[in-house]
Amino acid sequence: MVSELKELGINLGYRCNFHCAHCSVIEDPRVKLSASEVNLLAQVIGRYKFSSLLFVGGEPTLYIDIANNILSKAGDLSGTSVRITTNGHFANSKGNAIKTLSSFAKLDRVQLSYDKFHSKFLPFESIRNLVYACKALRKKFNVTTVLETPMDIMLLEKIKRAGKFTIGIQKVLPIGRAKANHIDHPYPSLDQKVLRKHCPNRGKIMYFCGRGFSTCCSSLVFNSRKKDMIHPSVALHLNSEFYKTAVLSSFGRFARRLRVSTKDLRPEHSTPCNLCEFLFNRAKAKEYNVRS
């Protein structure tokens, strides 16, 4: 079971200095990792020997001291790659970009979140500064962007002018502010191939400050307060019914195990996260009706 996990994502805190309309995180910005959580995470890193660590937020560069505390207590990280997902706010100059990235005790990759929503807060020149800093510090760099409509892909041509790096593309999911603002990528029809897919986070686990561990980093965690998919320890999560069904099974098999009909699926369920939330909530509704 231990060998299944390759990456640990750590939510350092929920504060962010941007206010993007599509952000999935609408948790209390005052919440950040406690000292006991830092110790727990250091122990987990030492035990499971993850090949990759990911620091997220909020904005992770607002919590560099906490990240470094975890790294210093985690032991030997020579075989572990450490990366952050950032909004790049600190890259208003090449010098500031280098200074901020150099503040991490260990950092191997920088992943910038940039799309039409982030562009309202981050000047394009900051991307160039960040690319320069990563090259100077010999850190890998990539961009992840989200699409609300197919037309948003035109922004990719502008992003490419900042340098040579990989660009990952995702679609806006109805989570957090995106859900409140009715921002969601449209799907013309249901893609039946989604039923043969597995959870895209398979092999990874996240820790959400103040809440616990979960493979899910999307709809179920942020749209629900149920405890079925989040647990106080890695072991409890890996042995949970949620992990064994939602994570290890294909979505088609997941639906059959839950005895949920796929005839009611809609086009928006073409994405694994939307589909997983639908199946999980439909199963819970059936369970409630049986008990009633």
What integer best gives the mean pLDDT of the chain? Answer: 91
Per-position DSSP letters for 117-170, written without gaps between them: TGGGTS-HHHHHHHHHHHHHHT-EEEEEEEESSGGGGGHHHHHHTT-S-EEEEE
Q: Which domains does the chain have, with CATH numbers?
A: 7-186 (3.20.20.70)
Least confident piece of the model among 9-13, 19-23, 159-163, 261-265: 261-265
Q: How many CA atoms lie within 13 A of 18 on its CB side?
A: 27
pLDDT > 70 in the chain, percent: 95
| CB-CB neighbours of 227 under 10 Å | 12
Split at pLDDT 50, 70, 90, the class of 176 is confident
Of the two residues 169 and 226, the one the predictor is more confident about is 169
Cβ contacts of 79 within 8 Å, gap of 6 or more: 49, 51
Contacts of residue 270, Cβ cutoff 8 Å, sequence gap at least 6: 187, 189, 190, 191, 194
Of residues 141 and 278, which shows the higher confidence score? 141
pLDDT surpasses 90 at 219? no
User: For the residues 246-253, what does the mean pLDDT come to?
Assistant: 89
Tokens of 129: 């500064």
Query: Would you say residue 1 has pLDDT above 80?
Result: no
Cα(130)–Cα(132) distance, integer angstroms: 5
Q: Of 139, 77, 78, which Cα lies nearest the Cα of 108? A: 139
pTM: 0.92
Model confidence at 290: pLDDT above 50: no
Q: Which residues face 237 on adjacent strands?
A: none
How long a stretch of residues is the chain? Answer: 292
Span 218-243, average pLDDT = 83
When pLDDT is averaged across residues 138-151 and rounded to a whole number, the result is 94
Supply the pLDDT for residue 226. 63
Tell me: pLDDT of 65 over 90.
Answer: yes
